[in-house]
Structure formats: structure tokens, C-alpha cells
């Protein structure tokens, strides 16, 4: 909502990628990947006969408009209260019975994002600039003195520390996906986006 996040990463999987066939595992060749645009990138897939090259593309493309689900309360349907409430706006509302974002209908959407760049890279290849674009936050007690360490609320990462932004982001990744995911250093789709107005045909 504050515009501090304009990039996100998703592990490359069958459900977010397009293949001529479906595979349970992908074994990408680093040298082959380097230097290609995602629109024409061919990645090496495991278990293919005769080492055939297989086209692998993201299901989300540049120019796509995404609609964002939020934790919400539906309209009560009486009196003057007939609008959706969003937890982002009313996080301190006592006794509220919030519905998980996965159940939010399209009609309740108020955030629309246009995808501006799609690419693929290893998780741990993230740059300082991209880590900040992922929306990492300053430590709540130290304000501008350092970044939040997401796996330890009592710890912060000073601005002066080498790759502090990356360390903060990777701690966030661990808090969501686990340390095993970080150690695996998976291939991830990297999506850059910007907020836009509601599409006319939505």
C-alpha cells in the first residue's frame, strides 16, 4: 500500500510455468540460461530423452495485470456499512472475524499490478537493489539505522554491514519458506510490477 514493494519471487514450478510436457523436476543449466531474455529462453529439463532442449516460460508475462487478494471482512449488508473492510486498514479492529485473502472475491479487489519485467535467476543471486525492491523494512526500533532480521525479532542488520539488504531479504525468505529452501538455492521467477488503476474490462 505504501509503494515500497515492486518486485516478487516465486520458485519455478509446474504450476507457474509453461512446458510442452510436465516435469516433476527441473535441472537448469546455468551457462545456457545466462544472457537470454525470458521470452525466448530455452532451459534444460531433466529426464528428457537425448538431452532435448525444452522451452520453459512463466505463465505470467510482461504486460499482464494482476489483482491482489487481501484479508477482509465482507459487507454486512445493512445500514450504512456496505463496503468491504481490509485488515491492512483496520489491523487493530477488536473482535473482527477476518476472512483469509484466498477467499476474497474479484469484486472486492482494490489493488491492481501491471507486470513490467519477467526473468529467472537463482534465489541467492539477488542484488542489494532487488532486495530493497522486494519490500524489506527498516527495523521498527532503529528506524533508519538498519534492516529487519525476519527470523529474529530482537536482531537488526546495520546499514553499514556488507549486503545488509540481501541478508534481510534472505531472512524473510527463511521465515516464509524455511531454511531448506534457502539452502537449495532454487530457480525463481522474478516479477517486477507497478500499481495501476482498475482495468476497464475487469
Q: What is the DSSP annotation of 174-185?
A: HHHH-HHHHHH-
Strand partners, 34: none
* 1 within domain boundaries: no
Is 115 found in the same domain as 131?
A: yes
Q: Which of 8-22, 35-49, 153-167, 182-196 has the highest mean pLDDT?
A: 182-196
Is 142 found in the same domain as 103?
A: no
* Euclidean distance between CA atoms 114 and 193, whole angstroms: 5
Alpha helices in 52-186 (DSSP H): 128-133, 164-177, 179-184
pTM to 2 decimals? 0.78
Is 166 found in the same domain as 102?
A: no
Is 171 found in the same domain as 137?
A: yes
The pLDDT assigned to 41 comes to 42
152: nearest Cα among 130, 167, 162, 165: 167
The pLDDT assigned to 19 comes to 61
Could you say which of 90, 110, 130 is where a domain stops?
110
Is 124 found in the same domain as 45?
A: yes
* Average pLDDT of span 91-101: 89
- Per-residue pLDDT band for 48 (boundaries 50, 70, 90) equals very low
Could you say which of 110, 132, 166 is where a domain stops?
110
CB 139 within 8 A of CB 147: yes
Which triple of cell numbers denotes residue 187? 530457480
* Average pLDDT of span 88-97: 87
Mean pLDDT across the chain: 80
* 201 within domain boundaries: no
Regarding predicted confidence, which is higher, 159 or 126? 126
118: nearest Cα among 43, 66, 195, 61: 61
Could you say which of 110, 137, 160 is where a domain stops?
110
Is 135 found in the same domain as 171?
A: yes
Strand partners, 115: 193
**Count of residues in the chain:** 202
Is 174 found in the same domain as 119?
A: yes
Is 151 found in the same domain as 130?
A: yes
The pLDDT assigned to 58 comes to 81
Degrees, nearest 5: CA angle 131-126-161: 60
The gap between the terminal CA atoms of the chain, to the nearest Å, is: 20
Is 34 found in the same domain as 127?
A: yes
Q: Is the dihedral of CA 36, 38, 42, 44 positive or negative?
A: positive
Number of separate domains in the chain: 2
Name the residue with cell 476474497.
104
Q: Which domain holds residue 175?
A: 7-68+111-196
* Backbone phi and psi for residue 92, each to the nearest 5 degrees, phi listed first: -100, 10
Is 75 found in the same domain as 39?
A: no
Is 50 found in the same domain as 18?
A: yes
* Average pLDDT of span 153-177: 91
3 state SS of 151 = coil
Amino acid at each position: 500500500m505504501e509503494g515500497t514493494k515492486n518486485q516478487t519471487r516465486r520458485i519455478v514450478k509446474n504450476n507457474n510455468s509453461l512446458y510442452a510436457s510436465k516435469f516433476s523436476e527441473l535441472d537448469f543449466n546455468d551457462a545456457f540460461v545466462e544472457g537470454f531474455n525470458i521470452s525466448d529462453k530455452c532451459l534444460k529439463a531433466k529426464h528428457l530423452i537425448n538431452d532435448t532442449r525444452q522451452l520453459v516460460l512463466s505463465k505470467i508475462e510482461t504486460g499482464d495485470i494482476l489483482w491482489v487478494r487481501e484479508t477482509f471482512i465482507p459487507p454486512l449488508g445493512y445500514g450504512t456499512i456496505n463496503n468491504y473492510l481490509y485488515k491492512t486498514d483496520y489491523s487493530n479492529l477488536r473482535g473482527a472475524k477476518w476472512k483469509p485473502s484466498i477467499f476474497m472475491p474479484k469484486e472486492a479487489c482494490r489493488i491492481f499490478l501491471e507486470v513490467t519485467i519477467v526473468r529467472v535467476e537463482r534465489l541467492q543471486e539477488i542484488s542489494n537493489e532487488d532486495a530493497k525492491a522486494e519490500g524489506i523494512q527498516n527495523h521498527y526500533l532503529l528506524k533508519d539505522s538498519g534492516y529487519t532480521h525476519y527470523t529474529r525479532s530482537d536482531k537488526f542488520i546495520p546499514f553499514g554491514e556488507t549486503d545488509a539488504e540481501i541478508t534481510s531479504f534472505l531472512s524473510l525468505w527463511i521465515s516464509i519458506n524455511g531454511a531448506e529452501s534457502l539452502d537449495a538455492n532454487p530457480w525463481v521467477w522474478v516479477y517486477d510490477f507497478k500499481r495501476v488503476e482498475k482495468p476497464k474490462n475487469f
